[in-house]
């Protein structure tokens, strides 16, 4: 399995990552969302170098030019809610991609840092034989990503899966290596951190991406997540 860390080489990715991590700058929620979108655009461009293209004659006002156009059918999937700005960044470059959405969240055990991952909603086109891109800003444990991938497989096995995240942890990468097909999966990260805290948040990371993007959850929403739930995405 190929693991690509875009911060291994100096580029604007490093600048945007610095701003996303900065606890002062990230209080500007609009700027935070925009930087996530920008990183989605950069990853989409870098990822596009791995796609397949077809020779295409294009008629200009003065003649015919031989061009190369994307021939891979793309399904762009996102884990709600934090993945939406990253999804928008990708979609602004992958104009004709089909779109899929999966809701996944952590349900913590009362009085404990232990949690299960629950999926309650999925909307997805057929994925068989297509290139699947799954976007989620934080790849902390890998559990949400693996369950989302399994849910998407119910719509067909993709030709190749690209996992795109802002920050991944070493633990999550090892988990993905064990649970997704190595010869058909590529992981793209803007940076990779090495620690998780007791709450399974990435350290140093950037905090709770969903809250920074859209605001903190209310107490009512947190209480709702603690109630018994059923996975009914099929």
pLDDT at 219: 55
pLDDT at 117: 62
Q: What pTM, to 2 d.p., does this model score?
A: 0.86
Task: Please state, in angstroms and rounded to a whole number, the distance separating the CA atoms of residues 205 and 138.
Answer: 9
What burial class does residue 228 get, using C-beta atoms within 10 Å of its C-beta: 0-12 exposed, 13-18 middle, 19+ buried? exposed
Helix (H, G, I), strand (E, B) or coil at 7: helix
Over residues 145-191, the pLDDT tens digits come to: 998 999 999 999 999 999 999 999 999 999 999 999 999 999 999 99
Report how far apart, in Å, the C-alpha atoms of 51 and of each of 74, 94, 162 are: 9, 11, 11
pLDDT at 230: 45
pLDDT at 144: 87
Closest CA relative to residue 207, chosen from 15, 18, 23: 23
Give the gyration radius of the chain's Cα atoms: 18
pLDDT at 3: 98
Give the chain's domains with CATH numbers. Answer: 2-225 (3.40.50.2020)
Helix (H, G, I), strand (E, B) or coil at 57: strand
pLDDT at 114: 57
Please list the ranges in the chain whose pLDDT falls under 50: 220, 224, 227-234
Contact 138, 167 (CB under 8 A): yes
Helix (H, G, I), strand (E, B) or coil at 29: helix
């Amino acid at each position: 399995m190929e693991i690509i860390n875009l911060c291994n080489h100096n580029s604007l990715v490093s600048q945007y990552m610095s701003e996303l991590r900065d606890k002062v700058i990230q209080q500007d929620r609009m700027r935070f969302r925009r930087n996530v979108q920008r990183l989605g655009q950069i990853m989409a461009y870098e990822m596009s170098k791995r796609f397949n293209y077809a020779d295409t004659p294009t008629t200009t006002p003065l003649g015919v030019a031989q061009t190369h156009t994307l021939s891979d059918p793309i399904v762009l999937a996102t884990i709600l809610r934090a993945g939406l700005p990253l999804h928008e960044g990708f979609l602004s470059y992958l104009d004709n991609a089909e779109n899929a959405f999966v809701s996944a969240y952590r349900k913590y055990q009362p009085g404990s840092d232990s949690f299960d991952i629950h999926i309650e909603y999925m909307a997805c086109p057929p994925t068989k034989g297509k290139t699947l891109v799954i976007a989620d800003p934080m790849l902390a444990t890998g559990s949400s990503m693996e369950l989302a991938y399994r849910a998407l497989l119910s719509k067909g096995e993709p030709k190749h899966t690209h996992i795109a995240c802002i920050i991944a942890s070493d633990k999550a990468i090892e988990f993905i290596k064990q649970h997704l097909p190595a010869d058909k999966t590529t992981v793209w990260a803007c940076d990779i951190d090495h620690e998780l805290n007791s709450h399974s948040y990435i350290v140093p990371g950037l905090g709770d991406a969903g809250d920074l993007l859209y605001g903190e959850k209310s107490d009512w929403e947190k209480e709702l997540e603690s109630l018994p739930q059923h996975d009914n995405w099929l």
